[in-house]
C-alpha cells in the first residue's frame, strides 16, 4: 500500500462530504486515476454514503417527533 493509498483512506470521509481542501482533493483524484483499489473503494463508499443520506431524509415517525419535542420541553 502506497502513502497515497493511506492518504485516500485517511481523508475519504471529508472527500465524500466535500469538506476536503482543494489541494487534497486534487491529490485524491490524481491517485484514483492510478490506483484501481482506491477507485473501487471510494466509489463503493460514495454509493453507500448517498444511500445513507437518502435514508436520513425519510421523515421521522410522528411518535418519535413527539417524544423528541417532549425531551426538549423538559430541558
Q: Is residue 28 close enough to count as binding Zn ion by CB under 5 A?
A: no
9 binds Zn ion (CB under 5 A): no
* Segment near Zn ion (CB under 5 A); pick from 14-22, 28-36, 51-59, 65-73: 28-36
Nearest to 8 by CA among 50, 53, 30: 30
Largest CA distance in the chain: 55
- Choose which of 5, 9, 16, 25 interacts with Zn ion (CB under 5 A): 5
**Smallest distance from the beta carbon of 15 to Zn ion, in angstroms?**
13
User: Among residues 34, 35, 12, which one has the least CA distance to residue 24?
Assistant: 12
Amino acid at each position: 500500500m502506497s502513502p497515497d493509498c493511506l492518504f485516500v483512506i485517511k481523508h475519504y470521509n471529508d472527500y465524500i462530504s466535500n469538506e476536503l481542501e482543494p489541494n487534497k482533493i486534487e491529490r485524491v483524484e490524481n491517485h484514483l486515476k492510478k490506483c484501481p483499489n482506491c477507485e473501487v473503494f471510494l466509489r463503493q463508499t460514495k454509493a453507500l454514503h448517498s444511500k445513507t443520506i437518502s435514508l436520513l431524509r425519510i421523515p421521522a415517525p410522528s411518535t418519535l417527533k413527539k417524544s423528541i419535542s417532549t425531551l426538549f420541553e423538559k430541558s
